[in-house]
């Protein structure tokens, strides 16, 4: 089976015995793992991918979230292969019922030894009207069988997706009603994932999802995996830097609601919100916004940006960077629409300064400086249980008139692994280090805020070092290192062993982080340190005999 870049770090108690984590000298601990975590997608044709033109099922979108965004090292396992994702292994068997999966499950589990099983099964029992009354008991027995075969594994059990046939759906409703009780009776090693939330628009036919439906499934599998794979790192749920390599906004210059807001200039008739390569916080692209406030008593406009399907948890956070180009441009903020019909702007949620997350209050709050990038971070924990269905950018100013313009960049909805550590102190700071592989891969590439487009520091020097001057003595709370696979290279090129040091004077150094056996593409290291200079020292540059160091970014978050 192919091994895929980036997954894992300390599994919750059920998986802890499987991993040998590199523990760091106090006060830091490395969120790394020594091998990819094996995940078995187990089920029927829905797991295999019927309904998707690429037959990638939910697995492609889930791999993207786990690997490309959260930085885990993961290996999907199973005897079947389907889809266009980098790791196509799965255990999806078209037309199979619960009893048919059970007949072969022990053999598969013994062969592939998964750490986590993603179980979506029962659709064919309902479709065939096969002994429906006893289907919950068969599911319970299958879960017990999985846990007996893999005593250290965790199984995520789905309430199965809906069907378009009323008779089948009635049976599914009865079956799904029994699933939560079955799962809870199995204890901590079984966890419930609700996939019954899909709607008719998410289905390609009577039984199978389309790509949009599979993407929704991936979001919920990912949320379920967080509690299993939780290791103190952030889990991006929606993340974009508005680069050409990122998912494009769903809408461009599309206004959902507006009163007394016209175009900025040039025959524009309404608020503008579209991606431009003009000014950016990171990379080359950002979202331009502009318009004209035409009333001194009431003016607002909300532009649609992204369609979304993001369930919020107690750890969910919204963050973005905004660059208003005049005072009017500060009356702008990201707004979220929820599935219950409510909106972020009306919830009372506040940013890191206590300013309400509402475009009007953002402008009145006095914390958004003109002609510079400003970080806005909103804790969404109080909204846990709601689901984000759309991301908007709003302008709202009840008094005054005039044009407004600015840029939005680095928009993220994430479940954060701990206390917000602050902004990246290393971003754009002077960086020096061992000789680069080529001039375009100099040390400065590790602190330019760009991971795409092969933007990395590369060095073939043994014991390569990268040093960053933070400009003043600062408090550092977390380091994040993005290794080779974070930039799209193979897992085998990720840095295996390294340490991070800090110094107040550039002469006397203290080791803050030590890692001896990493496999991940993104590693996160909580610390509590005071330093002006930070230094990455590479001990073993790859998982193989390759002697070249490849680091896409070194981040030092703090204040």
Q: In whole angstroms, what is the distance from residue 87 CA to residue 15 CA?
A: 22
Distance of CA 207 to the CA centre of its chain: 28
Q: Which residues contact 41 (CB under 8 A, 6 or more apart)?
A: 47, 57, 58, 59, 76, 78, 90, 91, 92, 118
Q: What is the mean pLDDT of residues 318-345?
A: 97
34 band by pLDDT with thresholds 50, 70 and 90: low
Same structural domain, 123 and 48: yes
The CA–CA distances, whole Å, from 175 to 144, 168, 180 equal: 18, 11, 10
Same structural domain, 200 and 52: yes
Does the residue 8 lie in any domain? Answer: no
Same structural domain, 287 and 326: yes
What is the structure's pLDDT at 17?
30
Does the residue 7 lie in any domain? Answer: no
Range of the domain at 465: 423-558
Domain boundary (200, 232, 264) is at 232
Domain boundary (217, 232, 247) is at 232
Helix axes 135-149, 166-184, angle to 10 degrees: 40
Does the residue 5 lie in any domain? Answer: no
Same structural domain, 387 and 429: no
Same structural domain, 73 and 217: yes
23 band by pLDDT with thresholds 50, 70 and 90: very low
Q: Supply the CATH number for residue 330's domain.
A: 2.60.120.260
Same structural domain, 371 and 442: no
Q: Which of 70-79, 409-418, 454-463 has the highest mean pLDDT?
A: 454-463
Q: Supply the CATH number for residue 129's domain.
A: 3.40.50.1110
Q: Which helix (H) or strand (E) holds 155?
A: strand 154-159
Same structural domain, 254 and 268: yes
The lowest-confidence range among 31-35, 318-322, 389-393, 552-556 is 31-35
Same structural domain, 431 and 554: yes
Answer yes or no: is pLDDT of 28 > 70: no
Does the residue 137 lie in any domain? Answer: yes
Does the residue 6 lie in any domain? Answer: no
Among 146, 137, 129, which Cα is nearest to 43's?
Answer: 146
Does the residue 499 lie in any domain? Answer: yes
Same structural domain, 478 and 390: no
Same structural domain, 247 and 348: yes
Distance of CA 162 to the CA centre of its chain: 26
Answer yes or no: is pLDDT of 500 > 70: yes
Q: Could you give the number of structural domains in the chain?
A: 3
Does the residue 4 lie in any domain? Answer: no
Which comes out higher in pLDDT, residue 73 or 23? Answer: 73
Strands 510-515 and 465-482: unpaired
pLDDT digits (tens, 9 = 90+) for 333-355: 999 999 999 999 999 999 988 99
Residue 326: CB atoms within 10 A of its CB come to 13
In sequence order, what DSSP letters do the residues of 231-262 get, joined into one string?
A: SS--EEEEEE---TTSPPPS-SSEEEEEESEE
pLDDT digits (tens, 9 = 90+) for 506-517: 999 999 999 999
pLDDT digits (tens, 9 = 90+) for 426-477: 999 999 999 999 999 999 999 988 887 889 999 999 999 999 999 999 989 8
Percent of the chain with pLDDT over 70: 92
Q: Which of 27-31, 179-183, 514-518 has the highest mean pLDDT?
A: 179-183
């Amino acid at each position: 089976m192919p091994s895929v870049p980036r997954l894992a770090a300390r599994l919750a108690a059920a998986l802890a015995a499987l991993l040998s984590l590199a523990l760091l000298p106090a006060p830091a601990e490395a969120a790394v793992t020594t091998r990819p975590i094996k995940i078995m997608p187990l089920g029927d044709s829905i797991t295999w991918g019927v309904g998707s033109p690429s037959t990638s099922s939910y697995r492609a979108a889930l791999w993207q979230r786990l690997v490309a965004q959260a930085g885990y090292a993961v290996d999907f396992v199973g005897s079947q292969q389907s889809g266009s994702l980098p790791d196509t292994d799965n255990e999806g068997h078209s037309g199979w019922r619960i009893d048919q999966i059970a007949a072969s499950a022990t053999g598969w589990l013994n062969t592939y030894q998964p750490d986590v099983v993603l179980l979506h099964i029962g659709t064919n029992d309902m479709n065939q009207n096969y002994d429906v009354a006893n289907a919950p008991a068969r599911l319970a027995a299958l879960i017990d069988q999985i846990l007996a075969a893999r005593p250290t594994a965790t199984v995520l059990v789905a309430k199965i997706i809906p069907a378009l046939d009323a008779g089948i759906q009635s049976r599914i409703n009865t079956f799904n009603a029994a699933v939560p009780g079955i799962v809870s009776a199995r204890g901590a090693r079984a966890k419930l994932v609700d996939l019954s939330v899909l709607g008719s628009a998410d289905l390609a036919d009577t039984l199978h999802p389309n790509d949009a439906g599979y993407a929704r499934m991936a979001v919920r599998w990912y949320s379920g995996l967080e509690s299993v794979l939780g290791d103190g790192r952030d889990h991006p749920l929606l993340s974009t830097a508005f680069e050409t390599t990122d998912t494009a906004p769903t809408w461009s210059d599309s206004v959902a609601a507006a009163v007394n807001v016209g175009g900025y200039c040039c025959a524009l008739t309404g608020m503008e919100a579209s991606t431009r390569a003009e000014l950016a916080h990171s990379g080359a692209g950002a979202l331009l916004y502009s318009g004209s406030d035409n009333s001194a008593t009431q003016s607002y406009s909300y532009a649609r940006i992204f369609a979304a399907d993001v369930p919020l948890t107690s750890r969910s956070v919204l963050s973005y960077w905004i660059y208003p180009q005049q005072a009017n441009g500060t009356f702008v903020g990201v707004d979220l629409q929820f599935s219950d019909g409510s909106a972020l702007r009306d919830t009372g949620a506040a940013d890191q300064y206590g300013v309400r997350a509402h475009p009007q209050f953002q402008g009145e709050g006095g914390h958004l400086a003109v002609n510079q990038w400003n970080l806005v971070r909103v804790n969404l924990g109080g909204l846990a249980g709601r689901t984000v269905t759309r991301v908007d950018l709003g302008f709202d100013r009840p008094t005054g008139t005039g044009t407004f313009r600015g840029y939005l960049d680095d928009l993220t909805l994430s479940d954060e692994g701990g206390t917000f550590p602050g902004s990246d102190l290393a971003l754009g700071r002077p960086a020096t280090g061992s000789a680069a592989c080529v001039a375009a891969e100099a040390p400065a590439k590790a602190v330019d805020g760009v991971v795409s487009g092969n933007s990395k520091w590369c060095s073939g020097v043994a014991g390569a070092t990268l040093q960053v001057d933070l400009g003043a003595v600062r408090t550092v709370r977390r380091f994040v290192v993005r290794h080779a696979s974070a930039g799209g290279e193979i897992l085998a090129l990720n840095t295996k062993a390294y340490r991070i040091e800090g110094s107040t004077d550039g002469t006397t150094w203290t080791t803050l982080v030590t890692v001896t056996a990493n496999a991940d593409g993104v590693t996160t290291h909580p610390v509590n340190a005071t330093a002006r200079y930070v230094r990455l020292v590479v001990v073993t540059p790859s998982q193989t005999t390759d002697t070249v160091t490849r680091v896409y970014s070194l981040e030092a978050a703090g204040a």
